Structure 1
C-alpha cells in the first residue's frame, strides 16, 4: 500500500478568514483531520463529506488525546495511505509541538509538509487595536510561553533579559500564572505602571479584553473571572489601542449568533454576519447525496418550482449530463426563496418567487428528499438529492456551544425551524431550554409564525427578509434579558 502524506497546518487564531490559502487547500483534500481545541471548528466544514474528523483538544485539567497518542495516530493514518491534516490553532511552530509530530513522521519516512499559520500573539493584539511593534513605542517583540511542563507549571525564563531587551512581550495561555509573571517583571525593573492587556478568544466575535497595569491586572482578572484561552500582552504600545481599535467597533461585535441552517455549505447570511463582527454557529450540518433523475417529461411542464439554490444546480447538472437541450424546456421558473430566484438569475433565467406563481398549468417541484413530505396533489416531484444529518458534527456542535456564550438565535426561513428542532433532538438538546435566554429573531412573518407554532420564544424580525436588514435590526436592538 502506498504511504499517504501529512500536512501539519496552522489554522490561525480563530477568524476562519485568517487561515492561509495553502492551509485551506490541505483541508479540502484531507481524508483525515486531527484538530485541536483552538482551531476554529468552522474550518472543518470545508472538508469533504467523508473525511474522518478526530478531536485532539486539550484543556488545562484534562487531555482528550496525549501528544504521544496524536503522533501515533498521524503515523497510523498515513501508513494506511491517507491524506492527513493535523490542524493546530495559530502557527504550528509557536508552542504547537509540531517538531515532535514531524520527528515521529520522519522516523517512519512519511512525507509531510508544515504549513505556517498566523500566530495568536500577533493577530489577537491587532484585532484589539494594538500592533506589537511601532517605531515610537516598541522596536522589539517576543513570544513567551507562560507555563512549562514542570509540576508547578511556572515558566523558567530569563526575566532580566525580557525586561532589558524586549519592548513588547506576548505571553501565551498564562492567566493562571499572571501574578507570577507580573511579580518577576517588576522585580527585574519593569515599571509597575507598564500597561498590560489580556485578550481572550482573540479574533473571534466573542473576543474580550481586560486592561490594566503590572500593578493591578492580577486583581482585575480575579474580579472579572477572566480565563484562558488568552494572550497576555505587556508593553507601552498598548496605549495605541484607544486610537486604532477597529474590530470592536463593528456593528455586531459581541453578538454570538446561532443560525438555523437548511443548506450544506456556509451560507451567505452567516458570512455577512461574521463580516460585521459576529460569532456565528450554523446548525445543523447536512450532508447530501445527489440522486439520478428522470428527465423524459421535463419539457411537458408549464411551471418548475425550485425549493433551494442547491436544487437549481442539481437540476441543470442533470440536464447537461443527460444531453437535454435546455431550449426544449418551455416552463416558467420559480424559486421558493430569494436565494433560489437568484440562483436561477445567475444562470441567465428570469425567475419569480413562488407566491407570484399562477394557479393554472402543470407544475414540477424540484428539490431534495424533504419535498416528499409536502402536500403536492397538484404537482409532480423531482427529487434531485437526499439530504441527511451529518452525525459526525453533532459532538463538534456541542463543543462549540460550550465554548461560546450565545445570545442570539436567527431563523432564516420557515423551512429551517423543524429541521433545527429535530437535529437538536438528535443531539439530546432541548430546544426551548437552549433558546430561553437568547434573543430569537425570525426572517419574515411566515418564519415567525413557524417559530411561534413550534412553541419557541420569539422576539421580533427585521423590516425586510435580507441580510442587510438583519444586521440593521441586530445593531439597533439590544440583546434582551429574556
Structure 2
C-alpha cells in the first residue's frame, strides 16, 4: 500500500515580533511533523511546534551561503512524499522576496498539495515600528518594495521609481546603499530626500538611522548597521518625529535572557517584552504524563496539607484527577504553593491556595512536584512526595541558542529561583555556549536571596534583587535602572 503524501505549508512568520502571527499560522505549526526555517524569523516562534516535530535550519547569513536552494526544494519534496506535514517557515511574508514561487513549483511537479499562508511583510511592519506609515494622503499615495541586493541594481527601473512612486522600501540593501542613493539621485531624486534605515525591525534590538540621500551612507557606516535591514526613502519619513511609539517604550534597546524552569508562559519575560525589551528564554521545557492508579490518587485526598512546587505540578495533578473522574471537591487538604504563578494557576482551576511562607506545621503533608524526589529542593525536607508530571528540557533548542546569541548581545540575565541558575549553567554548557563569559559582561538580576546565594556558588554576585521576592518588583527595578541610565 502506497503511503499517502503529506502536505506543505509555506508560512510567513512576520518580521520578528512574536506577536505578529496569525491564527492560521499557529495551527499550521502546531500540526507540523517537519519545519524548515530561515535565519531571520524569531526562534521563539518554533516553541509552538509539537515535541515530535523535526526542526531543520535552512538559514543564510550575509557571510555564508547556507543550504543551497535546490537542496531546500528536494527536502520539501522528500519529506512530503514520506507522508509528513511540512512547514516552510519564512521571515516576513513568503511571497515578498521569499522564493515561494520556486519552492512551490518543485512541489507542483510531484503533485504534492500545498498552501501559502501570508505573513506580515517586513518593510511595512519595520516602518510602522519606526514611526513611519508607508502611505499617507499628504506625503505618499504610492509605495513600492524593491530588492536591494547588489546583483539586481541594473535591473531596477530607477526612472519609474523616482517619477511614479512616493515611498520606496529596499530590502537587504545596506551593502548596496551607495549604489541605491547614487541611482536615485542620478535619476532625478533630490539629495535632500529623507532616508531611514531600520535594522532588525520590530525586535527590541531594532536600530534606526535617519538621514538624506546625500548623507545616509556615511551615517549608516558610522553606526555599523548591517543586514537584515529595510531602507525607506521618501518624504513620508518626516512624520516619524510625531508618530514614534515603539522606540519610546521604557526597555527599548535592552536585551534580556530569562533563565527558564517551566513550560508555562514566563510572566517576567512577558512583562519585559511588553515594555519593549528583546527577550530570550532558555532552556525550553516540555512535559509528559506520569502513570498513576485511581486508588493512589484517592489516598492523596486524605492528607491535611498539599504543597505544589510549580504550575506544571498543579496541572499534572488536577489533570490526573479529571482523567479518573475524581471530583476536585473531594480535596479537603489545605493547599499551598511555592510561587504566585502556581497560586494563580490553581485559582484558574477553581481552587484557592496560600503561599508556602504561610503554611502551618499541623497535619500530614504531601508535596506534589514535577521532578524526581532526589532532585527536589532539600529545603522541603523528607516529606511524602508525588511527581504529578514529567518535565524535561527540549534539546532541539540547544543548537538554536548559540545562533540566537550570535545575533543578540545580552545586556541582562535574570533568574527566578535556584533551579533556574543550575539549568542555565548546565544546559548552556550542553548548547556549547559560554554562560560564564556572558554573566561576566551582563547585569544579573535575581528575585530572592536564595537565588542570589546559588549564583554565588558559581562565582557571580547579582546586581539587582528586589526587597520583596516578586516578578513585579524585579521588573520595576529593571525599568528604574534603565530610566536612570537614560
How far the C-alpha of 1:112 sits from its partner, in A, is: 0.5
Q: State the shift of 1:363 in Å.
A: 1.1
Structure 1 unaligned spans of 5+:
none
For residues 1-12 of structure 1, the aligned pairs below 5 Å read 1-12=3-14
SS in 2 for 1:134: coil
Return the match for 2:363 from 361, 383, 388.
361
Partners of 1:469 and 1:249 in 2: how far apart? Answer: 22
Paired residue for 1:221?
220
Q: How far apart are residue 14 of structure 1 and its match?
A: 0.5
Shift of 1:178: 0.3
Corresponding residue number in structure 1 for 2:155: 156
Question: Cα deviations across residues 298-341 of structure 1 (Å, max 9, x unaligned)?
Answer: 12211111011111111011112123233333211110111111
Moved more, 365-374 or 399-408: 365-374
Say if 1:144 and 1:171, in contact at 8 Å, map to a contact too. Answer: yes
Q: Tell me: CA distance 1:237–1:371, structure 2 relative to 1, closer, same or farther (3 Å).
A: farther
Q: Secondary structure at the match of 1:369?
A: coil
User: How many angstroms does 1:117 deviate by?
Assistant: 0.6
* SS of residue matched to 1:17: coil
Once the 2 structures are TM-superposed, how far is the Cα of residue 426 of structure 1 from its aligned partner? Answer: 1.2
Task: Note closer, same or farther for the CA distance 1:155–1:291 as it changes in structure 2 (3 Å cut).
Answer: farther
Aligned positions of 1:429-448 closer than 5 A? 429-448=433-452
Counterparts in 2 of 1:63-462, with a 5 A limit?
63-147=65-149, 150=151, 154-293=153-292, 294-374=296-376, 375=378, 378-462=382-466
Please state how far the C-alpha of 1:480 moved relative to its aligned partner: 10
The alignment partner of 1:72 has SS state of helix
Counterpart-to-counterpart distance in 1, 2:42 and 2:435: 24
Q: Could you tell which deviates more after superposition, 136-145 or 446-455?
A: 446-455
Check whether the contact 1:163–1:188 (CA below 8 A) recurs between aligned residues: yes
Which position in structure 2 is the counterpart of 1:19? 21
Contact 1:142 1:168 in 2 (8 A): yes
When the two structures are superposed, what TM-score results if normalisation uses the length of structure 2? Answer: 0.95
Task: Give 3-state SS (helix, strand or coil) of 2:14's partner.
Answer: coil
Q: Whole-Å Cα distance in 2 between the matches of residues 399 and 457 of structure 1?
A: 27
Q: Distance in 2 between matches of 1:292 and 1:105?
A: 43
2:176 is paired with a residue of what secondary structure?
helix
Does the CA contact (< 8 Å) of 2:317 and 2:389 recur in 1? Answer: no
Distance 2:426 2:240 in 1: 45
Q: Which structure 1 residue ranges, 4+ long, deviate > 4 Å from structure 2? A: none
How many Å apart are 1:390 and its aligned residue?
1.5
RMSD, aligned α-carbons: 1.7
Q: Which moved more, 1:296-305 or 1:271-280?
A: 296-305
Structure 2 unmatched ranges of 5 or more: none
What SS is found at the alignment partner of 2:291? Answer: coil
**Structure-1 separation of matches of 2:448 and 2:183:** 58
Q: Secondary structure at the match of 2:138?
A: coil
User: 2:39 maps to which residue?
Assistant: 37
- Residue 388 of structure 2 aligns to a residue whose secondary structure is strand
Kindly state the Cα deviation for residue 233 of structure 1 after the two structures are TM-superposed: 0.4
Contact 1:251 1:276 in 2 (8 A): yes
Name the stretch that deviates more: 131-140 or 297-306: 297-306
The structure-2 alpha-carbon separation of the partners of 1:206 and 1:155, relative to structure 1 and needing over 3 Å to count, comes to: farther
Cα contact 2:402–2:433 (8 A) shared by 1: no
- 1:39/1:88 contact within 8 Å kept: yes
How many residue pairs are counted as aligned between the two chains?
478
Does the residue aligned with 2:464 lie in a helix, a strand or coil? coil
Provide the TM-score with structure 1 as the length reference.
0.96
Higher mean C-alpha deviation, range 412-421 or range 105-114: 412-421
Change beyond 3 A, Cα 1:471–1:277:
same
Question: Residue 475 of structure 1: CA displacement?
Answer: 1.6
Query: In 1, distance between residues paired with 2:39 and 2:19?
Result: 18
Asked whether the 8 Å contact 2:258–2:281 carries over to 1, the reply is: yes
Q: Distance in 1 between matches of 2:473 and 2:37?
A: 36
Deviation per residue, 1:24-81 (Å, 9 max, x gap) = 1111111111000111111000111111100000112212211111111111111111
Quickly say closer, same or farther: Cα 1:155–1:317, change in 2 above 3 A.
Answer: farther
CA distance in 2, matches of 1:261, 1:121: 33
Residues 82-124 of structure 1, C-alpha deviation per residue, up to 9 Å, x if partnerless? Answer: 1111000000010000000111111111111000111111110
In 1: Cα distance, 2:312 partner to 2:221 partner: 50
- Range with greater deviation from structure 2 (247-256 or 427-436): 427-436
Q: Take 1:88 and 1:76, find their aligned partners in 2: how far apart are those partners?
A: 19
Q: CA deviation at 1:370?
A: 4.6
| C-alpha separation in 2, matches of 1:228 and 1:202 | 11
Q: Is the 8 A contact 1:127 1:202 kept in 2?
A: yes
Three-state SS of the structure 1 residue aligned to 2:441 is coil
